[in-house]
Amino acid sequence: MKKRVLAGVLWFLAVAYAWNLIALALGLPELPGYGLATIAAFLFAADPARIVWKRDARQPAPVSSAASPAV
């Protein structure tokens, strides 16, 4: 979990810095960059599609009650 938080912070800083460089070069406002940075950090840290942070192979998959046979 510590890696996800650190990755989220680093993504926020990277996107905000990149937007500020682009905004400076093109004369765009700086404020939308912080919104984009927040969205990017959340998507990378939370990873709702499990693309970046795969499930650990040592942890068993959760068992649903519908798949178990009736006794």
The pTM score is 0.66
* Per-residue pLDDT reduced to its tens digit, 1-54: 788 888 889 999 999 999 999 999 999 999 999 999 999 898 888 877 676 667
Residue 60 — pLDDT band, cuts 50, 70, 90? low
Query: CA 47 to CA 30: how far, in whole Å?
Result: 26
The DSSP call for residue 29 is: -
The DSSP call for residue 47 is: -
What count of other Cβ atoms lies within 10 Å of the Cβ of residue 22?
Answer: 12
- Sequence-ordered alpha helix ranges (H) in the chain: 2-26, 31-46
pLDDT at 44: 84
pLDDT at 3: 82
For the segment 51-61, the average pLDDT, to the nearest whole number, is 64
What count of other Cβ atoms lies within 10 Å of the Cβ of residue 11?
Answer: 19
Domain ranges in the chain are 2-46
